[in-house]
């Protein structure tokens, strides 16, 4: 066995060319049958049951997972196992998406009459437009390719790429029709970074109650400094008697006053505060607070409730601990 790196690179490029051409051919053949399939999947009261043998089965499993994570209840059922009891998972309220390049896979074809007797709608994704699968289907999606990328034209390569892309096209069309949003996606991915960003609210990570540094406007400068030091936020809110925010004083403000040589001993909080500071609502997404801090280059932000009163505070360290940033 000898390895030719130049030949390997050439074959890789040819593979990508063949698969790209297969996808462009698939695009040119899309017609009303695709729209009909999407409508059927939107109308199904149960689940979309995806099935397929061999490599088509692996693709089918991925398509089922993509559908489920984008708002279409779906599952994968192996056709071989279906013949030995798993057909009981499929109900008349479901819809079957059957995938087979040839459309003649024995295990798949053998369960088609049973599905028909149950009245289960069937969408076929196949390259065999005159196959047994196509003849049984209510809608046929043409996933045929001119040739496989395999030099022997045997191993499923371009055909499985076409199936995968067509499955993604179905999922995207369905999520758009359902009005599926990023927040919906996050709810099915709570453990991922997107889930943390889109499901975590400010009130989930903010400092509350006695953890929130604040003083009245007439507080002495020494009181203000003690409050900042004890609470460790690097800032303090200045509020009125109704807890409405009048301003904020930060470590940065302190450094600037010292650099100017200002005599701080006789000053009060209202004399040194920065009026009308940036705030965020407690029910806002934590990611919005992170974007606010980044936009205005600040490291902490005050949190207000629906009536505009101070109810919390958070800084970049709080957001980092919550893995929002």
Our count of domains for the chain comes to 2
**Tell me: the pLDDT tens digits for 277-299?**
999 999 998 888 988 999 999 98
3-state SS, residue 127 = coil
Q: What token pair was written down for 164?
A: 């995968």
Query: Can you tell me the mean pLDDT for 222-233?
Result: 92
**Tell me: the pLDDT tens digits for 116-128?**
889 999 999 999 9
Helices 158-177 and 5-29 cross at an angle (nearest 10°) of 40
Q: Is residue 197 part of a domain?
A: no
Q: How many CA atoms lie within 13 A of 264 on its CB side?
A: 18
User: Do residues 56 and 145 both lie within one domain?
Assistant: yes
User: Do residues 232 and 115 both lie within one domain?
Assistant: no
User: Do residues 73 and 121 both lie within one domain?
Assistant: yes
- The stretches of the chain forming alpha helices (DSSP H) are 5-29, 32-43, 54-69, 79-82, 106-109, 112-118, 132-136, 158-177, 182-187, 193-199, 202-205, 221-231, 251-260, 269-272, 286-296, 316-321
User: Do residues 135 and 267 both lie within one domain?
Assistant: no
Look up the pTM and report it.
0.64
Give pLDDT, residue 285: 87
Percent of the chain whose predicted confidence (pLDDT) is above 90: 69
User: Do residues 21 and 116 both lie within one domain?
Assistant: yes
Task: Compute the radius of gyration of the chain from its Cα atoms.
Answer: 31
Q: Is residue 187 part of a domain?
A: no
Q: Is residue 141 part of a domain?
A: yes
**Tell me: the pLDDT tens digits for 127-138?**
999 999 999 999
Domain hosting 109: range is: 5-180
Asked whether residue 191 carries a pLDDT value surpassing 90, the answer given is no
Contact 248, 275 (CB under 8 A): no
User: Do residues 110 and 173 both lie within one domain?
Assistant: yes
Q: 10 Å Cβ neighbour count for 216? A: 16
Phi, psi of 290 (to 5 degrees): -65, -40
User: Do residues 23 and 106 both lie within one domain?
Assistant: yes
Q: 10 Å Cβ neighbour count for 58? A: 17
Contact 283, 312 (CB under 8 A): no
Asked whether residue 192 carries a pLDDT value surpassing 80, the answer given is no
User: Do residues 215 and 260 both lie within one domain?
Assistant: yes
Give pLDDT, residue 320: 87
Asked whether residue 193 carries a pLDDT value surpassing 60, the answer given is no
The average confidence (pLDDT) of the chain is 90
Sign of the CA dihedral running 99, 158, 68, 170: negative
Burial environment of residue 259 by CB neighbours within 10 A (0 to 12, 13 to 18, 19 or more): exposed
User: Do residues 154 and 9 both lie within one domain?
Assistant: yes
Cα-Cα-Cα-Cα torsion 205, 209, 210, 216, nearest 10 degrees, comes to 120
Q: Is residue 185 part of a domain?
A: no
Choosing from 180, 213, 230, the residue where a domain stops is 180
Choosing from 148, 180, 212, the residue where a domain stops is 180
Q: Is residue 190 part of a domain?
A: no
Give pLDDT, residue 85: 67
d(CA 243, CA 234): 20
Q: Is residue 221 part of a domain?
A: yes
Query: Which CATH number covers residue 59?
Result: 3.40.50.10490
Q: Among candidates 307, 294, 154, which has minimal Cα distance to 244?
A: 307
d(CA 316, CA 296): 13
DSSP string, 233-298: SSEEEEE-TT-BEEEEEEHHHHHHHHHHT---TT-BHHHH-EES--EEETTSBHHHHHHHHHHHT-
Q: What token pair was written down for 127?
A: 């390259």
Q: Cα 106 to the chain's mean position, in Å?
A: 37
User: Do residues 31 and 160 both lie within one domain?
Assistant: yes
Q: Among candidates 119, 112, 109, which has minimal Cα distance to 45?
A: 119
Query: Which CATH number covers residue 273?
Result: 3.10.580.10
Q: Is residue 186 part of a domain?
A: no
Lowest-pLDDT range of 21-25, 131-135, 189-193, 244-248 = 189-193
Q: What token pair was written down for 319?
A: 């957001």
Lowest-pLDDT range of 12-21, 91-100, 189-198, 262-271 = 189-198
User: Do residues 23 and 170 both lie within one domain?
Assistant: yes
**Tell me: the pLDDT tens digits for 29-74?**
999 999 999 999 999 999 999 999 999 999 999 999 999 988 899 9
User: Do residues 222 and 309 both lie within one domain?
Assistant: yes
């Amino acid at each position: 066995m000898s390895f030719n790196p130049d030949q390997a690179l050439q074959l890789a490029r040819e593979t990508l060319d063949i698969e790209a051409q297969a996808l462009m051919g698939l695009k040119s053949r899309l017609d009303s049958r695709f729209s009909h399939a999407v409508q059927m999947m939107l109308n199904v009261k149960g689940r979309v049951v995806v099935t397929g043998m061999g490599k088509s089965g692996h693709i089918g499993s991925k398509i089922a997972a993509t559908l489920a994570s984008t708002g279409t209840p779906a599952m994968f059922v192996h056709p071989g196992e279906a013949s030995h009891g798993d057909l009981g998972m499929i109900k008349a309220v479901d819809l079957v998406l059957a995938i087979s390049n040839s459309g003649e896979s024995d295990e798949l074809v053998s369960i088609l009459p049973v599905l028909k007797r149950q009245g289960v709608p069937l969408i076929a994704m196949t390259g065999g437009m005159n196959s047994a699968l196509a003849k049984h289907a209510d809608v046929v999606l043409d996933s045929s390719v001119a040739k496989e990328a395999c030099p022997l034209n045997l191993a499923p390569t371009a055909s499985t790429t076409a199936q995968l892309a067509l499955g993604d096209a179905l999922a995207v069309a369905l999520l758009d029709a359902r009005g599926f949003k990023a927040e919906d996606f996050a709810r099915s991915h709570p453990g991922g970074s997107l889930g943390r960003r889109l499901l975590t609210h400010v009130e989930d990570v903010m400092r509350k109650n006695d953890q929130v540094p604040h003083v009245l406007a007439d507080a002495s400068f020494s009181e203000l400094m003690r409050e900042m030091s004890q609470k460790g936020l690097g800032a303090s809110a200045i509020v009125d008697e109704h807890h409405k925010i009048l301003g904020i004083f930060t470590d940065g403000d302190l450094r600037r006053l010292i650099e100017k040589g200002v005599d701080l001993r006789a000053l009060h909080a209202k004399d040194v505060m920065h009026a009308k500071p940036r705030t965020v609502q407690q029910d806002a997404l934590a990611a919005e607070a992170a974007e606010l801090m980044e936009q205005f280059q600040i490291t902490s932000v005050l949190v207000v409730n629906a009536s505009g009163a101070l109810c919390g505070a958070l800084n970049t360290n709080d957001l980092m601990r919550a893995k929002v940033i």
